Structure 1
């Protein structure tokens, strides 16, 4: 009876260790910091989506991709952020078996999707810089829709495969996940069977998708740099580099973080380090993206200024 009860519990519930397995004396401070980051992320990305949707001057392919990137940031923060805030105060951090599977699937889906959104934006910059006369023909509305649907489809297929394979494994105890959310490798470490096939599948699919998106970004920027360096005017070169610098900054931060998460071995010490890296990806990057694209983008700043001036005029009136 005890064995049957243990199997039932481990089948339907997992316990999360959280950011740390010790009760922190500064829980209120941690809660306020993460709440602030989450609210800034939510408001910043929603503001970006609304701004792009309302301003007809921003109805261009690059901002179409940016609006979907902001939507992905909202989803990645919301699928983990509220639970992480709750778990700061809760001693037993419980998540259901199916809730864990859903969280793993949504998070993995967003990671893959964001990588290909950045690749689509790099291709858009390449087309605008290297083939300006053919830009409107190449980046048609149909192509833009395909470049958005494609990342969603690849993320769906990739993560659905990993989630299905992972949660068909037997889990017969222990059921404590050494993380603050359901990430794939910490979950696989709890399976009471060999998981080499799952890890090999993860390596192949994540490697293939990562290389594909990385090659698209790298090749696009090689052509962009060559085209910019061929500009005779120094002011023209500076303006061209400034135009794509926001996207390059976002790419560097995201790819660098994902690289360090993926290359670390799955020892307990490295899993603890991965918590910090995952926290950076889940909390910091979604908060930085709207700031990067708004503060370093003249069109977004002009649109935001027009909106604020219009609001000020209506208030004074």
Structure 2
């Protein structure tokens, strides 16, 4: 049963404006979503990625927390292979001390950028392979929960401020591997249905729940699904608006090309120049979005929540203009609040 709706903000740069405008739009949207009753507001991490403005989700989460009153602020997520688990733990211990009970630490294993950005983040050291992500994740969780093994080389190193609580820790993933790891570490799990076009089902969430090991900071499994959604008066209008982001995904995932978002009419014109297989991928990607009027989208969100056995749906929305994003989030909140079961 759907009980909560939340936001994943990738800080897109709207209308071809300068990069910093995407950061200001994030804050504007966060304030609106706080007033509209959204439960969480997570900021994403992208490096050297035209079209997206935020490489520092922890800074954006802090900014959001400072300028909102009720909504939980967090990261969706910190791409852990770039960083020291100790440093991430320090950062989020400080955030939790400043905003007790309102901070979420979402982590992921993806690089959040191309290979050059990955190498630049690691320089002058070598990059850390994703195969070490489980080890890094376990260490980060142990730092924050004070559960490092007695023989750990950094057991005596304090995470300051040591009297602050532990933020809620979430693991992001789009497959079963991350879900089982999240369960074993006793963190929350966010399943990204907006990534890729492959079909997923409740078995991923069920695997997480079966693997879950409770802790003092999270005594029962908590899972959510994240979906892409755009509202408009009609499904066709919503598809038109979505074309900007769908074309961006085709270029990024089929060719490794990351460029600023195009206006919808240009994106649709460029679609005609794609190969038949690329056009098919465009259509498959479009079909992963929830599109239409707000009531129809909320109905689909309720159905997905029931299908996956979760109580929370997180919405990601990337559009060329800022107004359609505001409209989507406000309309979805209005419909959800009217039709709560």
The interval holding the TM-score normalised by the smaller chain is under 0.3
TM-score scaled by structure 2? 0.23
Q: Which has the larger radius of gyration?
A: 1
More relative contact order in 1 or in 2 (CA 8 Å, sep 6+)? Answer: 1
